């Protein structure tokens, strides 16, 4: 936690010092143009890679898989996008580093290896009103299927009214 505080204090100081130093060398307008150029290029790359990550995640979800890697990549891309929009050269370097696919995969692999993914669909669910006489079946995947019937109150009333009307009629 204290490292995070140190980063939030030191990073703006480093960025200001670097912007002033570059501004002295190439001029203020050129420095501003360079900062805007890196933000525009970074945003363009971020957009392209973000959509690619989204489509890969969508394909995995359609296949019934959990897109854990793509979710972590999306978080890294969001942080890199924020760093690229922030004016400064150090934040741009860190932001562009996160947009390099090989470097990002290295970070993602390290993060995913430390994560634990729980699939709630595979866990057994306990039912309070479980029929004790065997009306439930267990499928091959281990999930439990309950058999039963369902009526609405209005359906029951309509059925009762139809039965009363049909009693008076005789079949031909």
- What is residue 125's DSSP assignment? -
Degrees (nearest 5) of the Cα angle 167, 168, 172? 90
Q: Is residue 29 part of a domain?
A: no
Total of domains in the chain? 1
Q: In terms of residue numbers, what domain contains 109?
A: 38-115
Tokens representing residue 64 in the block:
């019934």
Spatial separation of the C-alpha atoms in residues 125 and 119, rounded to whole Å:
13
Residue 171 lies in a domain: no
pLDDT one-digit tens code per residue, 123-150: 555 444 444 544 444 445 556 666 666 6
In a domain, 97, yes or no: yes
pTM of the model: 0.60
Tens-binned pLDDT, residue by residue, of the chain (172 aa) = 678 888 888 888 999 999 999 999 999 999 999 999 988 998 888 888 888 889 988 998 888 888 878 888 888 898 998 898 888 899 999 999 888 888 888 888 887 777 776 666 655 554 444 445 444 444 455 566 666 666 667 666 666 666 656 565 555 5
Task: List the one residue out of 98, 90, 80 whose CA is nearest residue 22.
Answer: 90
pLDDT of residue 8: 85
Asked whether residue 61 is domain-assigned, the answer is: yes
pLDDT reported for residue 43:
87
Residue 150's SS3 state is coil
Does 136 reside within a domain? Answer: no
Residue 108 in any domain: the answer is: yes
In-domain check, residue 3: no
Q: Is 131 among the domain residues? A: no
Q: Measure CA of the first residue to CA of the last residue in the chain; give whole Å.
A: 87
């Amino acid at each position: 936690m204290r490292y995070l505080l140190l980063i939030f204090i030191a990073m703006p100081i480093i960025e200001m010092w670097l912007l002033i130093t570059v501004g002295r060398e190439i001029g203020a307008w050129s420095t501003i143009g360079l900062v805007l150029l890196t933000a525009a290029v970074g945003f363009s790359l971020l957009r392209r890679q973000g959509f690619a990550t989204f489509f890969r995640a969508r394909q995995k979800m359609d296949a019934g898989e959990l897109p854990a890697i793509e979710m972590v990549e999306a978080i890294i891309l969001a942080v890199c996008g924020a760093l690229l929009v922030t004016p400064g050269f150090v934040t741009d370097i860190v932001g562009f580093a996160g947009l390099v696919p090989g470097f990002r995969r290295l970070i993602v692999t390290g993060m995913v290896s430390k994560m634990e993914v729980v699939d709630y669909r595979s866990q057994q669910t306990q039912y309070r009103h479980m029929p004790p006489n065997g009306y439930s079946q267990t499928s091959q995947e281990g999930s439990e299927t309950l058999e039963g019937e369902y009526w609405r109150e209005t359906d029951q009333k309509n059925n009762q009214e139809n039965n009363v009307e049909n009693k008076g009629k005789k079949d031909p």
